[in-house]
Amino acid sequence: MSVLESLRTIRDEALEQFKNGQTAEELEQLRVSLLGKSGQLTGILRTMGKLAPEERAAVGAEANRVKQALEAALSERREALQKAAQAARFERERIDVTGPGVRTRPMGRLHPMTQTYREIRDALVGMGFSLFGGPEIELDENNFTLLNLPPDHPARDMQDTFYVNDSVVLRTHTSPCEIRALKSVKPPFRLVMPGRVFRVDEVDASHSPVFMQMEGFIMDKGLTLGDLKGTLDAFVHAVFGEDVKTRLRPSYFPFTEPSAEMDMSCTICGGKGCRVCKGTGWIEILGCGVTNPHELENCGFDPKEWTALAFGIGVDRVASLKFGISDIRLEYENDARFLRQF
């Protein structure tokens, strides 16, 4: 083979190899093996001295053309590989900014006690009740004295509380809202008054020093205990369905006469008797009664003209029954792992 022929063979083979080169490294190896110090083409150029002078010019010119052709082909291939790599990377890293987010945010939900509170409230609002409220830090006078619990009355012991000073307490129940209503709302009215209340109680499965109540207060002329029972039945059935039974049990509260406690049939055992209802089939959920005439008089109303009915619901109790929670602490500890299930 003449030198010119081998030059062309080298070129044709090299051009073919470049086409198959898949990476920058492969191309670099090819370049070195052809154009490097001990490359094929370099080798041929080195032998030029041995050629006849007339041949030398032709071989020299061809060798230069081959070299240029190879260099051009190499850089073209390099560029093509680079572009392909970039295109592949764009494809790989493509994001559709209009698509839905990948990271989901945890959804919050309402605390079971809030859900319960809202159901009771909505049932009562549906019967014409309005929301009303009072402060958590209350005058002793509103919390006790005007509710017919004068200083030194033994019934005060039932609701020991936290004193801020001699005349200011953390309210022990939502009943002082009744006094605030009597002092500021013109009867007739139907009010629902929810909120946090406080007592000096040791924490156990059924006691918490902070808990939630909901006071209902109705004032009109000619109300009877039947109106009270009907109202209470309606809210219990709205929250628990028509199948639960209720009963009123005589009780004592200084601010009602007569006084009663309302029980509902135990939702855990369906009334057969279990650990939660202590085998009785009934669970107490509220205190209620016909407002004591002294309370009305204390606030300037004539009890012969006006009648009031009142009830105080333990919201945590109702939530326990609704959701089958057997330890009240779970309702106040705010452990998201527990609350998530409701």
Using CB under 6 A as the binding rule, whether residue 312 contacts ligand DAH is answered as: yes
Min separation Cβ 290 and ligand DAH, Å: 8
Using CB under 6 A as the binding rule, whether residue 18 contacts ligand DAH is answered as: no
From 16-24, 65-73, 110-118, 282-290, give the range in contact with ligand DAH by CB under 6 A.
282-290
Residues 176-235 that bind ligand DAH (CB under 6 A): 215
Min separation Cβ 248 and ligand DAH, Å: 12
Instruction: Among 212, 310, 318, 319, indicate the residue that binds ligand DAH (CB under 6 A).
Output: 310
From 104-112, 161-169, 241-249, 285-293, give the range in contact with ligand DAH by CB under 6 A.
285-293
Using CB under 6 A as the binding rule, whether residue 253 contacts ligand DAH is answered as: yes
Using CB under 6 A as the binding rule, whether residue 254 contacts ligand DAH is answered as: no
Using CB under 6 A as the binding rule, whether residue 295 contacts ligand DAH is answered as: no
Q: Which is nearer to ligand DAH, 175 or 307 (CB)?
A: 175
Instruction: Among 256, 265, 307, 320, indicate the residue that binds ligand DAH (CB under 6 A).
Output: 256
Q: 3-state SS string over the chain? A: CCHHHHHHHHHHHHHHHHHHCCCHHHHHHHHHHHHCCCCHHHHHHHHHHHCCHHHHHHHHHHHHHHHHHHHHHHHHHHHHHHHHHHHHHHHHCCCCCCCCCCCCCCCCCCCHHHHHHHHHHHHHHHCCCEECCCCCEEEHHHHCHHHCCCCCCHHHHHHCCCEEECCEEECCCCCHHHHHHHHHCCCCEEEEEEEEEECCCCCECCECCEEEEEEEEEEECCCCHHHHHHHHHHHHHHHHCCCCCEEEEEEEECCEEEEEEEEEECCCCCCCCCCCCCCCCEEEEEEEEEECHHHHHHCCCCCCCCEEEEEEEEHHHHHHHHHCCCCCHHHHCCCHHHHCCC
Point out which residues bind ligand DAH (CB under 6 A): 173, 175, 215, 253, 255-256, 287-289, 310-312
